[in-house]
């Protein structure tokens, strides 16, 4: 399995940064949040960030324009039903994340990988709220996402090895350095 289509849930600082690096790396991104206002702010933030990269000659204007075109925004969570990967980047509220993973489990294809950008919640615990613990993994990006190279990849007890391989390949395609961690407090 290769990842082509990604949904990022949560369009705050982390979610918008993840959407930016994913779209700049050629992935099709659906950025999802609960209010259009949040999504509009996220796109403005991404455009501003990409503009800074263009002015510093890190990317071309064409690359920046293509990255923006690779992002679709919506408030409808059902739009992520056919993506290859969902990266959750909502606030660090356990019940919010647990409920979201349960909801995603019912919406997404059975082959969709569910990843969390959590910095503190157990991947094993998140996985218990799905029928697919083998497809649940942590992808903890560092802030600011467009600048920082490290991504902690947190493997749950039941995470399949091929999921780890897919996520490693994707992380490297985004010009990030994957660092594998076992699921433990603070990773």
pLDDT digits (tens, 9 = 90+) for 25-50: 999 999 999 999 999 999 999 999 99
Please name the CATH architecture into which domain 5-182 falls: 3-Layer(aba) Sandwich (3.40)
Q: Which residues pair with 30 in a beta bridge?
A: 7, 72
Per residue in 59-101, pLDDT (tens digit) is 999 999 999 999 999 999 999 999 999 999 999 999 999 999 9
Region 152-171 average pLDDT: 97
Domain boundaries, the chain: 5-182
Q: Does residue 187 have a pLDDT over 60?
A: no
Torsion sign (Cα): 5, 140, 166, 114:
negative
Confidence of residue 1 (pLDDT cuts 50, 70, 90): confident
Angle between helices 36-55 and 13-24 (to 10 degrees): 50
Per residue in 91-141, pLDDT (tens digit) is 999 999 999 999 999 999 999 999 999 999 999 999 999 999 999 999 999
Which pair of structure tokens corresponds to residue 121? 């919640």
CA distances from 135 to 147, 157, 178 (A): 28, 11, 18
Q: Count CB neighbours of 60 within 10 A.
A: 11
d(CA 148, CA 153): 15
d(CA 62, CA 164): 32
d(CA 179, CA 120): 16
Torsion sign (Cα): 28, 12, 151, 177:
positive
- Would you state the pLDDT for residue 184? 80
Q: Does residue 171 have a pLDDT over 90?
A: yes
């Amino acid at each position: 399995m290769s990842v082509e289509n990604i949904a990022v849930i949560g369009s705050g600082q982390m979610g918008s940064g993840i959407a930016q690096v994913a779209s700049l790396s050629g992935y099709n991104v659906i950025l999802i949040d609960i209010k259009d206002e949040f999504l509009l702010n996220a796109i403005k933030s991404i455009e501003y960030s990409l503009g800074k990269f263009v002015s510093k000659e890190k990317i071309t204007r064409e690359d920046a324009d293509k990255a923006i075109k690779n992002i679709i925004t919506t408030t409808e969570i059902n739009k992520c039903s056919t993506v290859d990967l969902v990266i959750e980047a909502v606030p660090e509220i356990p019940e919010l994340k647990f409920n979201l993973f349960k909801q995603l489990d019912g919406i997404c294809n059975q082959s969709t990988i569910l990843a969390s950008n959590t910095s503190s919640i157990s991947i094993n615990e998140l996985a218990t709220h799905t029928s697919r613990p083998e497809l649940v993994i942590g992808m903890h990006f560092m802030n600011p996402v467009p600048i920082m190279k490290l991504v902690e990849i947190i493997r749950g007890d039941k995470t399949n090895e091929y999921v780890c391989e897919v996520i490693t390949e994707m992380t490297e395609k985004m010009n990030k350095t994957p660092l594998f961690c076992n699921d433990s407090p603070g990773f």
